[in-house]
Structure 1
Amino acid sequence: MIDKLLKWLKHSLSALAHSRYLITWNLFLAFIPLVLSVWLFRWSKKASIFWWIVFLVFIAFLPNAPYVLTDVIHLIDLIRSGYSVWTITLVLIPQYTLFILAGFEAYVMSLINLGFFLHRQKLSQYILAVELIIHALSAIGIYLGRFERFNSWDFVTKPKILLSSIMDNLARKQPIIVILITFVVITGLYWLVKQVNLGVALRIKESKSGKS
């Protein structure tokens, strides 16, 4: 019994180590736009030239947050690699669930911060339109990252190649379909998670008001 438990623990640690670098790196990229959004939309008072430069960096890195949704393919590969049912159920699935939720939460919070900024600028009527535009840009970014293997910094290091790839993909049917499906998925999940976040924030606010 103890030997079986030790063997299972060994396999579980192996499964965790297998995805450690991928998850750590992709979460790091996903949280970059969240950190930038706090400075851009919560702390900054006015839009300077530096503000716009940071904003462009924010837009370039933002697709990395919802990109984590596509990393489910790595979970599928791990499931197919022969790990036991217990390792898959108790280790891999929880690991990837938390990873994907954390990455997408970073995306949602980044856009909530942007919405707060627009509201503060008395531009609340544009929040929905801006969110939809960003969902569309993120869908394009996810496609370029997953299928064309571009990175956020390629906006600076390979601008001509990146632009050429974007124009080429937007002119073909299959990429357009994939991008549209990605856009629908992102939009639906964003609305759902945003409502949960706003509901939790409202509960916390009401709880604090009740105590005071």
Structure 2
Amino acid sequence: MTWNTILAWIPVGLAWLVFRGDRVSHSPFWWAGMALFILFLPNAPYVVTDIVHLRGDVLAANDGGPVMTAILPVYAVFIGSGFLAYYLALRAALDHLTRLGLEAWRFPATVAAHGLCAIGVFLGRWARLNSWEPVIDPHGTLERIFIHLTWTWAPVLILATFLVTWVGHFMTRAVAEASFEVTRKGARILRANLTS
């Protein structure tokens, strides 16, 4: 879980580096960063698939460990952390579109990100593909992608992952933006009290 959490937050760091300023850079480093951002972004919502380990952890805990006070809260924090990372990374990309004057593309970009992440999560969970494999083994990666995407159940699993990603992002965005608004109002009230 710790490793997957680290991987989930890498896109946030990449977004902070790539989506700065108010124009598209023509630097090859910027485009390399953009490619890495796209490759690593599915790691954030991927954490939800680790719920497959929950049953085993609960069964092991029934031998004497607290399920309600330890295991379930850890999974909730873990999954929440992944979706928070996804929200922050995607928000940075969408805010960059707005700064470029492309605000109309925010919704299509969000849907595209959810779709790409659904495919990435599917390939990560079922093909056991890692984000760096397209760079270090492009031929083998393409072969594995083709084999798994042509599997009969692939569209169903990708659609289910898309829906989970959409709902998780929607809920995280609602909570995060409400929290930001409460914090901003609190800061304004505090400043007003200090200056009066």
TM-score (norm 2): 0.89
Select the residue among 167, 174, 181 that pairs with 1:195.
Answer: 174
Give the aligned residue type for 2:19: F
Say if 1:105 and 1:193, in contact at 8 Å, map to a contact too.
Answer: yes
Higher mean alpha-carbon deviation, 104-113 vs 33-42, is at 33-42
Which runs of 5 or more structure 1 residues have no equivalent in the other structure?
A: 1-22
CA RMSD after TM alignment: 1.8
Instruction: Give the aligned partner of residue 66 of structure 1.
Output: 45
Instruction: Give the aligned partner of residue 54 of structure 2.
Output: 75
Give the aligned residue type for 1:131: T
Instruction: Give the aligned partner of residue 116 of structure 1.
Output: 95
Say if 2:23 and 2:100, in contact at 8 Å, map to a contact too.
Answer: no
Instruction: Give the aligned partner of residue 206 of structure 1.
Output: 185
Give the aligned residue type for 1:201: F
Any runs of at least 4 consecutive aligned residues in structure 1 with deviations exceeding 6 A, and if so which?
A: none
Larger proportion of helix: 1
Instruction: Give the aligned partner of residue 29 of structure 1.
Output: 7
Say if 1:32 and 1:61, in contact at 8 Å, map to a contact too.
Answer: yes
| Alignment length (residue pairs) | 190
Residue by residue, what CA displacement relative to the aligned partner does 1:32-75 show, whole Å, maximum 9, x if unpaired? 11111112124686522211101111111111111100111112
Mapped to 2, the partners of 1:101 and 1:95 lie a distance apart of: 10
Mapped to 2, the partners of 1:159 and 1:79 lie a distance apart of: 38
Say if 1:169 and 1:176, in contact at 8 Å, map to a contact too.
Answer: no
SS at match of 2:19: helix
Percent identity over paired residues: 33
Residue 84 of structure 2 is aligned to residue 105 of structure 1: yes
Mapped to 2, the partners of 1:117 and 1:206 lie a distance apart of: 25
Say if 1:26 and 1:68, in contact at 8 Å, map to a contact too.
Answer: yes
Mapped to 1, the partners of 2:151 and 2:78 lie a distance apart of: 32
TM-score (norm 1): 0.83
Alpha-carbon distance, 1:100 to partner = 1.1
SS at match of 1:173: coil
What does 1:156-171 correspond to in 2, within 5 Å? 156-171=135-150
Residue 35 of structure 2 is aligned to residue 56 of structure 1: yes
Mapped to 2, the partners of 1:82 and 1:27 lie a distance apart of: 22
Mapped to 2, the partners of 1:202 and 1:55 lie a distance apart of: 30
SS at match of 1:186: helix
Instruction: Give the aligned partner of residue 14 of structure 1.
Output: none
Select the residue among 102, 113, 116 that pairs with 1:134.
Answer: 113
Alpha-carbon distance, 1:145 to partner = 0.9
